[in-house]
Structure 1
């Protein structure tokens, strides 16, 4: 069924990975298999929005059989498969088989800025670029092969503060003075440019809207996240879903009037929330076809 004939608005789903679609410890998505199958069958776009690198996301997209756009490194860049959308923005660059919108700061600049911030606050800041493969594997639970993918960073530097947590506010202020951002994910703080998951999602929402401009009711957007790092993404969608943390609590830093609190941790809660949303009747959300791909010349 195409968007032009479907009486309900088409749906786009954005999702964080670790602690949401992927189990925070095992990185398994198996408990979400049913919802993933429904999305695939109904051609509802599932856009991965993560702190992970392009290399990591490509591997996960392959496992999940996804062919939709994705957002790497906390909104650093939006990657759309070549030909996925019928038009291309002027600022888009071609890289391999993708049309890329770069929103973040380049990684070498972030590495230099991390050293400047370290001097400014007087406490050691250790980024991925300072850690061995073995240490990252131990801290994250990733295999060494996956760590090599995680170290192929382009727009975001995960780091640890070897000092009191109270330094975060000072770090954020120093970063802002340099036109950068410090945020916190599941295990690490992240240093990045003036970009975030929300800006990247808004870019894609607008592109889906233009692609589906023949639909009378526009589109409906859904996002699923579990930490304050996901707040910019949750703010910009119609249906924000908060996944509980491993102890069953919800991140207190996320307070939205329309927030949906998932029942279940990690991919269990993700599966339940997605099925509840996409299987509502036509008075709620409804399935939609993916944008038609244009032929390559």
Structure 2
């Protein structure tokens, strides 16, 4: 027998403000058709004035806890993946901890941009299987609307705000691929590509900065690296592409999602797609898509799910889990 990290609940939250592609037509040389053709995005949500990343994260966390039949006091670890923390410090995770009434656990942020939730899941899994945590609340939350250059049509139309969360719990397992829980993880980064996707500011530069991206180069790396990391994670789990019930990818661009699925040999009918409604919500996109996939009735108990993501760094990775 061994210990596995089992999914007990999922949840998500989207800000009230919905921004259709047509809203950009008044200020940018773009159209709804242009945005949809190049990204698949039709709309996204933007946080309200004064609404912070921890606000979004708290709403998603409470939704996931409700789904798990738990409350904040049942959690011993909170990991929040974000690139848009409320403050330089303390971590936004500690603000969520306060908001859900958790006073006996520990909380921290993790930063791997769009791959953040995959990195957070891998860390949560390591804490659980090593016995350092029993119940972990893993959250991805972003307010990317705060770091957009609204004159750059190549980036500002792609991103949105939102949050998703998952409750993981330690459980005994016979250690075979049919048992529920996280089966394998694969994490990677290569800092030689850090100039492909970045924010041109930060604390030590004394400048908030805005998001900058070399879109064509990111696309080229994304398809190859996402397919590779998903394959590696499946191999670690002793499984193949034919065993996959659902791929839940980072929701950045429909063409990346389609191309990666093709390389994996997984039909689009087995890919959870939400990019049209949310845009790219960075670290929030996978937990958002997982929660929506459960709500839609797509992801069911016992399904084999593969998540994969790539973001600035470049950082990329995948997780294989039995739902």
TM-score bin, normalised by smaller chain: 0.3 to 0.5
TM-score normalised by length of structure 2: 0.32
Query: Relative to total residues, which structure has the larger strand share, 1 or 2?
Result: 2
